[in-house]
Structures are given as structure tokens and as C-alpha cells.
Structure 1
Amino acid sequence: MFKPIPVAIGLRYLRAKRRNGFISFISLASILGIALGVTVLITTLSVMSGFQREIRDRLLSMQAHATVAGVGAPMPDWPHAVEVAMQDPRVAGAAPYVDVQAMLSGNGDPQGAMVRGVLPADEPHVSVLADKMEKGRLDSLKPGSFNILLGAELAAWLRVDVGDTVLVTTTALQHTAVGSSPRIKRFHVSGIFAVGHNEIDRNLAIADIKDLQRVLRMGDGVTGVRLKLHDMDQSWNVARDLALKLQGPYRISDWTTDNANLYQSLKMEKTVMGVLLSLIIAMGAFNLVSSQVMLVTDKQADIAILRTLGLSPRGVMQVFMVQGSLIGIMGTVMGVIGGILLTVNLESILELIESVFNVTLLPSDVYYITGLPYDLRTSDVVTIACIALTMSFLATLYPAWRAARTQPAEALRYE
């Protein structure tokens, strides 16, 4: 089969047994270094993406993908807003809500929390609250009962259980003859839920929407409408389109803006970790530079002969670029395969380590997430492979340029 001369010679150098065993060792170390860096980078970024997905899913199990709320006043005619929202094929569910910041007092220290009023019949359309109940039931919330559901950590801080009562002091003020005072109401604890996310389990309480409307003197108005979407990445566009259809002054938000600090920090951690672990690939590339420089020195006579036979300096440069690039390709391919295999078997490896050493690496009483979730993204794998190949290619430039500058007469003088 016909091959360009530089490619044929470069492949022959890669396959041939070298006189200098140390050069072969450095080349092998380059391959293994690149492979190790790619493997570690793929596995680490996949695990970090898995944790991000797990945190996002737990958070969004109780939080709306998007909300449309009134501006400075309750939203009127919310049934019409729900009807318009459900006509959008991108919307999977819609439900009204009332939110108010409050101070809850029980048998322990008072705790601040968000008290949310919901319609129990519509809540399953936008959250998984009914599936997260540890004690009690969602349908225990009935108009006029003034029952309340507490997050597990919030209940623990208040030292209350099902059957106890909590005093809810809202930020809404009521005006009396002696001045203004906060609205206070006693609620009965009818259930406790646990989502597995600290911000929710400690800072959220759920009541019936009509009971909260009575406490806040809102009439039939609500804070806004919560939306659950088929594609959460379309949250902002869907909320904006709904607000435009309703033709009123509305405030829109989505899960990305409500949790901007959290997701920016997670994204920053993943980026920094990726940059730091890329240094492992860079070490393999530096080893590749060393092996190629020594190879060029070892092949001075061969380079001189090729030059006298008519091979141009550019052709000599291509020979060593082909040879070095193939080392980079081999290391990258091995790393990609190793990274994928390590990632998909990470849970089994964790269980094996725990059983062999009789330890629990992620105890459930300490961590919310007791396994190693992973999200093996094709985009991450392709990006890492491209970075490794680019570093390998750049590592071949200097040795190849040095080989191209070899003078035949000088190289053959002492042969």
C-alpha cells in the first residue's frame, strides 16, 4: 500500500526496536502519562457532573423549573394563568403557590423558614413532595385545618413531631389601634418530609394555600404560578412567553437564576479541577518532548542519510511529527477507554474497596449522597481527547524542527 515517505518512515521508527532502551522507556512513560491524565480527567469530571446532576435533581424535585409571579401584589385570576400555561406543549405541569418568610417556634429554638401555601391536589404536577413524606401525608393539608408539613431538619431544630403545634410568625403586618404587629397563627404539624437537600429540609414548610391566604389576608390572590417543564433548559423562555401572553406586569424567574450562586460555584469547581488535572496530561506531553529530543539525537546519522537521499527538511520534520503524534494518539485512545471503563465501574470498585477493607467511605449519617453518581458526557470526553491530542501535537514541534535543522555533513563527520 502506498504511503507518503514521511509517514512510512515515522511508522517504522515507532515499530522498530531502538538501540537506546532509555528512549523507549521515556516513550512508554509518555504514553502512560497521557493515558493516565486522560483517564483521571474523564473520571473526575464525570463524577463532578454526576454530583451536580444529583444536587440539581434533588433541588428541583421541590423547586419549580420556572415561576411567574405578581409584582408587589398578589397575582389575580391565577386559574387563567394556569390554563394558559398548560396550553404550552413545553409545560408538563402548573400550580399556584403562596410564599412568605416566617419565624417558626416549637419546643426548640425559633427558626426562620419559607412557608409555602400549595393546593394538595395540584402539587404532584410540579413537585415530588408526596413521595418524600417520611411521616404523614400530603393530603392531610385541608382548608381550615391549619395543618403544616415541615422539612426533616426544620422539625429536628424545632424539636417537634407529628401531632405537635408550631407558632408561625409571618413578616406580613397587621394594623391595629395600638400600632402594627406581625400576623401570628398556630399550625398543627401533620407531616414531615425529607428531600435530601439541606436548603429545603431545613428552610421549607408547606401549608394549604387557603389557610395561608387567610393568615395573610390575600383573598383569592396568590404569589404566583409554578411551572414544571419537559425540558428544564427552556425554563426562562417558557416563563417569558407566559408572562407576555398574560399581558401584565409580572416577575419571572427560573431555576438557574434562583440558584445562580450554587450553580456558578459548582461550574467553577469543575473548571478549576479540569485545569489542574490537565497538568497530568501536560506532564506526559513534556515526557514526549524529552523522548523525541533524545530520539532525534540518536537518529542523527539516519537523518543525514535521508537528507543526502533527497528528503527535504520539511519531510524530516514530518517524520518525527508523525512518530510523536502517534504516541500521543495511542496514549489518548488508551486514556479514553480506561476513563470510560473506570467511570462506569466506579460504584463496583467502591463497593469492593469497602468490602475488602471493611470500611464505609460515604456513611449515610454524614453525607446526603452515599454513592458515587456519575454523568459521562460525550462532550467532556471529546473535549479531553482534543486537549490531549493538541498537547501531544504541540510537543512534537520542537523536536521535529530540531531534526529538520540537522546538517548531513556535520552528522556524518564522525560516522
Structure 2
Amino acid sequence: MLLSPFEWTIAKRYMLPGKGERFIALVAGISLVAVMLGVAALVIVMSVMNGFRAELFDKIVSLNGHAIVQAYGSRFDNWQEVLKEIEKTPGVTRASPLIEQPLATTFNGRVELILARGNTQKDIQRLAPKVQSGDLSELKPGARNVALGSELAKNLGAQVGDTITIFNPLGRSTPFGTVPREIAYHVSAIFEIGVYDLDERYVVMPIPDAQTLLLSGDTIGMIELTTTNPDRVSEILAPLKRALQGRAVVTTWQEMNSSLFQALAVERVAMFVVLSIIVLVAVFNILSSLIMLVRAKTRDIAILRTMGATRKSLLKVFVTAGFCIGAAGTVAGLALGFVFLYFRQPMVHLVERITGQNLWDPSVRFLTELPARADPVEIVSIVVLSLVLSFLATLYPAFKAASTDPVQVLRYE
């Protein structure tokens, strides 16, 4: 809907009311600010929720892969054959043996429950970017060196160079009963995955050391694997599930974390709907400001009609005046939202200092920092939603202005 120079001149004049119309200008300014805050709230909340899901997925998958293959029972006896079968499956990019067992550890009188995790040397080195201190290259079979999660190290008070003791309650049988197995390990590295529950529990060691600790011989607990597309992991692994039926169970990341990610999906939709109502309320301000503008300009509209202005021209003038308010608020909201997302962590710290409250407790919120990841499709959807609502809010006042009868108005002037 292109405007002629005449229509655009009138529209600009109405977007900047004169001295006697300051109240209308105030309402229009409030409308712009309301749209800006609504759009910014949508951008911020949806980006944070996307970031939370993406970061949680990345951190969980980076450690546990896209799926786990576990034998019936606690041990994989013929795991080498199964590993070869998994590696031949189309769509599987990596498969690695894995041992994971809940145990307990002690250091300087402190006792913590742990998950002893046995990995291959290649998988251990994948943790290198997450190491806070120490050296993962020291984790060699038989060296009795381990790496601790950062929160576990903090709870134990252990540092690189200290020696911790890990207990296996299923130790050796003796004439006097089962004697728990205790082995001392040297802490060679401390890592931080970024998921509190994992950083609080994991002790990583080479697979041979884990087998010695658990007295499991050459068996393993499970096989982790990654695929070409994590969102299609169930479809990719369907043939493997059928091939391993009766021998092993294939569990995808979606099944392992289904309750968490389903809750995030429901919350994401609910927040979008609720925050969209804020934008809807904001565009009602545009509606009210335009209605007041039409009422204030009734005489001007009548004069314009007598000078030859068409109903279509007046319709375009008032639609443009209201739509520009919505568009300006949308652009300002996008800018405000992106600025907040860029400085989100300093802002969280600032609010924490002001209120004295811990707003981002990792033990409650899983991740150690407030995440954010903007989805271009969602950003476009938010912009389109705001602009469409702004446009619809202008139609009634614009049609009202266009239907003004100059004869009736000027008769009593």
C-alpha cells in the first residue's frame, strides 16, 4: 500500500500531534513503549528458553551421546560383537564402550556419593575443553588417576594432586562375609561440564581401572553412541533396536530425559502465548490513541474530503500513522531484547547484588550460567505477530475516519 506525497505528508503530521494534542501524543508514546516492552519480553524469554534447552542438550549429549545400548543385567559380556554391529548401523557416527556405576568416595573425612565412569582414552580427551585444572593425559590405564567434576571436588575439598578413596560395597567374599573394596586414586584433573548434577557426581577414569574397581573382568556396562541427527535418533536406531531385541536395550537421549524436555516444550509454548497477550494489550493502546486522533481531527478530515481527498487516501493515512507506531515499537523492542541478551549475565549479577538473592542457583537450575540462543524463525514470528496486530488495531479508526461525512461535520462548524 504505497502512499502518495500528499498522503505521506498528512500521515507524518498526524504522527506528530501539535501543542493542543499533547495528550494524544502521550498515549501514542505509551503505545510505542508498550509494544517495545512486549516484543522485548518475547525475544528475551523465548531466547532464554531456547538457550536453556540447547545448552542442556549439548552438555548432556556431549557426555552421554545420543543413545545408550545396555545389556539385560548389569554387564555386557559380548560387547565387542555388539559394538561392531552398532558401528555398521547407517546413521551411527560413533560408538564407545562405557562403564558407569554409583559408588561412594571419601577425602579428609568427607563422604560423597558418586558415579564412577569408565571411558576410553579417546572419550576422556573429549573432556579436555572442560578441564579447569590438571591434565587429562595422566589418566592412563593402571596409573590410578581420575578426574573429578568441579562441584564434587568442591564438596570434598579436593584439589589436583590430592588422593581420594573410592568404595565398592560389592567387594570380595571372605569366610567372614563380603569385604568392601577400597582403592586410592590420585586426582589428576578437575572438569566442569556445566550441568550441576553431573559436575556434582562424576569421577572419570580409564575403562581398565573401572573394571578393576568393580571386579568386572573384561565386561562393560553399556555402549554410548552418536548419530548424524539427534532429532531423528529414534528413526535412525529403529533397525538396531530390532536387531538387538532380546540381547540389549537401546535408550535414546529423548527417552532418558523425556520428562525434562517435554516440560520445557510445554513451558515454551505457554510463555509464548502469555507474552503474546502483552503485545495484544499494547496494540490496544494504538487503537485508543488513533480513535482519539480521529475524534480530534474530525473537522480536518471533513475539510480534506471537501478538497478532494478520497476515502482510500484517508484510510491509508490513518493506517500508516498507527502502523508506524507499532513498527517503531517492534524495532525498539528487538534492539532492547538483544541488548539484554548480550548483557544478561552482568544483569543477573546486578540484580543479585541489589536484592541480595541468588537468582541463578546451579543446584536448582541445572546450568551454571543463564543461557540464551536466538532462533531466527521465532524472531521473525515475533516481528510478524507484532506488525500484524498493530495493523489490525489501525483498521477500525481508519475506517471511521474514511467514512466521515464532510457535510454533517461542516454544517455545524
Question: What is the TM-score normalised by the length of structure 2?
Answer: 0.75
Q: Secondary structure at the match of 1:68?
A: strand
Unaligned runs of 5+ in 1: none
Distance 2:174 2:226 in 1: 41
- Using the TM superposition, give the Cα deviation of residue 211 of structure 1 relative to its aligned residue in structure 2, in angstroms: 3.7
Equivalent position amino acid for 2:70 in 1 = A
Counterpart for residue 21 of structure 1: 21
Indicate if the aligned counterparts of 1:141 and 1:147 stay in contact, CA closer than 8 A: yes
CA distance in 2, matches of 1:206, 1:137: 10
Task: Confirm or deny: 8 A CA contact 2:147 2:191 kept in the other structure.
Answer: no
Q: What is the deviation of 1:72?
A: 2.8
* CA distances 1:335-359 after superposition (whole Å, capped 9, x unpaired): 435545x268548x959x99xxx99
How many Å separate the matches in 1 of 2:287 and 2:69? 58
Deviation at 1:117, TM superposition (A): 1.9
Q: How far apart, in 2, do the equivalents of 1:112 and 1:154 lie?
A: 9
Cα contact 1:98–1:209 (8 A) shared by 2 = yes
What secondary structure is seen at the aligned counterpart in 2 of 1:184? strand
Which segment drifts farther, 391-400 or 239-248? Answer: 239-248
| 1:69 partner letter | Q
Q: Cα deviation per residue 1:236-294 (whole Å; 9 max; x = unaligned)? A: 43444433344554322233433344445555665565556545534531220111111
Q: Distance in 2 between matches of 1:400 and 1:413?
A: 23
2:191 equivalent in structure 1: 194
Displacement of 1:15 after TM fit? Answer: 1.9
Query: In structure 1, what is the Cα distance between the partners aligned to 2:7 and 2:179?
Result: 82
Distance 1:288 1:345, change over 3 A: same
- How many aligned residue pairs are there? 398
Percentage of identical aligned residues: 28
Structure 2 vs 1, CA of residues 66 and 305 (structure 1 numbering), >3 Å: closer, same or farther?
same
Aligned pairs for 1:374-385 (under 5 A) are: 374-385=372-383
Contact 2:75 2:221 in 1 (8 A): yes
Label 1:156 to 1:182 Cα distance change in 2 as closer, same or farther (>3 A): farther
Q: CA offsets per residue over residues 151-209 of structure 1, 9 Å max, x none? A: 23323433445352413134x58777777x58533232342322143212211112332
Aligned residues: CA RMSD: 4.4
Contact 2:116–2:202 (CA under 8 A) maintained in structure 1: yes
- CA gap 1:8/1:299 in 2 versus in 1, 3 angstroms: farther
Q: How does 1:137-156 map to 2 (within 5 A)?
A: 137-143=136-142, 146-156=144-154
User: 1:246/1:265 Cα in 2 relative to 1: closer, same or farther (>3 Å)?
Assistant: closer
Q: Give the Cα separation in 1 of the matches to 2:331 and 2:106.
A: 60
Q: Which moved more, 1:147-156 or 1:317-326?
A: 317-326
Query: 1:140 is aligned with what amino acid?
Result: L
For 2:310 and 2:389, locate their aligned partners in 1 and report how far apart those are by CA, in whole Å: 27
- Range moving further from structure 2, 104-113 or 273-282: 273-282
1:221-300 aligned within 5 A? 221-246=219-244, 248-264=246-262, 266=264, 274=272, 277-278=275-276, 280-300=278-298
The one-letter amino acid of 1:193's match is: I
- Would the aligned equivalents of 1:318 and 1:400 in 2 still touch at CA under 8 Å? yes
Q: Distance in 2 between matches of 1:338 and 1:190?
A: 46
Cα distance in structure 1, aligned partners of 2:37 and 2:129: 46
Measured in 2, the distance between the counterparts of 1:82 and 1:384 equals 46
Residues 201, 338 of structure 1: CA spacing in aligned structure 2 closer, same or farther, 3 A cutoff?
closer
**CA distance in 2: counterparts of 1:397 and 1:27, whole angstroms:** 16
More off after superposition, 9-18 vs 107-116: 9-18
CA spacing shift, 1:158–1:43, aligned 2, 3 Å: closer
Residues 1:247 and 1:59: Cα distance change in structure 2 (over 3 Å) = closer
Cα distance in 1 for partners of 2:204, 2:320 equals 66
Where does the alignment leave 5 or more consecutive residues of structure 2 unmatched? none
Q: Cα 1:39–1:157, aligned 2, differ >3 Å: closer, same or farther? A: closer
Q: Offset at 1:334?
A: 4.3
Q: Could you tell me how far 1:224 is from its partner in structure 2?
A: 1.5
* Residue in structure 1 matched with residue 133 of structure 2 by the alignment: 134
Corresponding residue of 1:167: 166
Query: Would you say the 8 A contact 2:287–2:397 is kept in 1?
Result: yes
Task: Provide the C-alpha distance between the structure 1 equivalents of 2:341 and 2:224, rounded to a whole number of angstroms.
Answer: 36
Cα distance change, pair 271–138 in 1 and its aligned pair in 2 (3 A): farther
Q: Which moved more, 1:203-212 or 1:11-20?
A: 11-20
Distance 1:105 1:72, change over 3 A: same
C-alpha separation between the residues in 1 aligned to 2:405 and 2:77? 87
